[in-house]
Amino acid sequence: MANVIGPAFNVSGINYNEIGVREATEAFVSDIFAKILNSAQDDKLFKEDKLIPESNTEKWIKEWINVEYANLLTQQSLKPLVNQIVSSFPPER
């Protein structure tokens, strides 16, 4: 699966003309779940009281881990959702 979307990756080398509907859908679903995971970590319910505030590097690494986790989640557990989105598109010619 090509990761098309995500701030943690360099996307300049991706050829968007060769990405099919399935790959684009997987990237779309992965991006949604990465955003959900990142939002959950920013929620007050998940924050820990810390004496030292979180650095930008720690936040970036957590976001990167969430992107990777969302990619695995899409490939392993969210195939029915991906298939449903793909089937809503007209057949490729």
Neighbours of 18 (CB within 10 A): 8
Half-sphere exposure of 87 (CA within 13 A, CB side): 6
Convert the pLDDT of each residue in 13-72 to its tens digit.
Answer: 555 566 788 888 888 888 888 888 888 877 776 666 566 667 888 888 888 888 898 989
pTM of the entire structure? 0.59
What is the structure's pLDDT at 51?
A: 60
DSSP state letters, 6-29: -TTS--TT--GGG--HHHHHHHHH
pLDDT at 24 (0 to 100): 84
Q: Where are the domains of the chain?
A: 16-87
- Cα–Cα distances in Å, from 28 out to 33, 34, 44, 48? 9, 10, 27, 30
Report H helices in the chain: 21-42, 56-76, 79-87
Specify whether the CB–CB gap between 8 and 63 falls below 8 A.
yes
